[in-house]
Copies of this chain bind each other. A is one copy, B any other.
Amino acid sequence: MRNSAGTHAGDEPATVGTPPAPVERHGYVLLSPDDFNAGALLGLRTPPPNILIEGDCLEVLSFIESNSVDLIFADPPYNLQLKTKDLRRPNNTLVDGVDDQWDQFTSFEEYDRFTERWLKECRRILSPTGSIWVIGSYHNIFRVGRLLQDTGYWILNDIVYAKKNPMPHFRGVRFTNAHETLIWAKKSEGARKITFNYRALKELNGGKQMRSDWWDLPICGGAERLRDANGNKLHSTQKPEALLERVLLATSGPGDLVLDPFAGTGTTGVVAQRMGRRWIMIEREAAYRELIEGRIARVADNGACERQ
């Protein structure tokens, strides 16, 4: 489970009271599980470096200070339950479906228990003026939304992420599944002064009248999509940066602290870095963390160039 780079600060045992020197990368630090007891995740209201954390989100979240995070973007497992093993297109080519181990749950009950736990931890660390976004599909979003309500969040909107170029339906037995749903919620019904930059979002659309609850965006592809030398996607569900740009523009400000508990390919941090937000990303898989480090490094380099 340890990052193969083997350069984590946690490789040296942490000493109580004397936090290990963080491993500085391109403007962020790497934390491993051994660092948590050293108070590395306290004092987040004063600007620390950006942080990429190795570990399971449930464990890591428990170490983060209460009320310390301004915005949470969560792209949890969708609990897709693919019943057909081989889905083929009409031309008989095979569809590369999402069958990753991290998306496997034995039942709705197990998925609910997992969801409730991370939602509760996120609610604890969320600032009273902050908000949370969760993205999902019909497979999981109803369970997520119900648990958001039951754990005390207050839903502000549901937003439709309409995919301009979704995969078609190949059997003619359903409608083309062409969208995902984002739920935007605040910490409690009584929470006030939630960060929301309506004007900025309006400008993003070129001043045109926008259906603000319907975001028509392309899926993540082209040069943005991370692929290996053979052209295979490196992550099943990489989100487009344009989606995170809207989220961060709408519901965070410069210098705000943005958390992504299921970082994946790190789109949240990449966009946060570019937009001048501080970020914390949690990712369990070493392979995905390596992708994140590469993306962040490229953004930091480009940023340096742009500032010249």
Contacts and interface: CB of A to CB of B under 8 A. Distances in A.
Interface stretch (A18-26, A95-103, A207-215): A207-215
Chain copies in the assembly?
Answer: 2
Contact of A162 (B146, B157, B181, B214): B214
A155 interface: yes
Contacts of A212: 166, 175-179
Contacts of A158: 138, 141, 177, 181
Interface stretch (A47-55, A193-201, A252-260): A193-201
Given A149-B143, A172-B196, A213 B178 contact: yes
Interface string A162-187: 11001011101111111101011000
Give the dominant DSSP class at A's interface.
mixed
A134 to B, nearest CB: 11
A169 B213 contact: no
Contacts of A198: 170, 172-173
A160 interface: yes
A160 B159 contact: no
Given A196-B172, A198-B172, A198-B173, A178 B211 contact: yes
B177 A209 contact: no
A108 interface: yes
Interface of A: 83, 108, 138-139, 141-146, 148-150, 155-160, 162-163, 166, 168-170, 172-179, 181, 183-184, 189, 194, 196, 198-199, 201, 209-214, 250
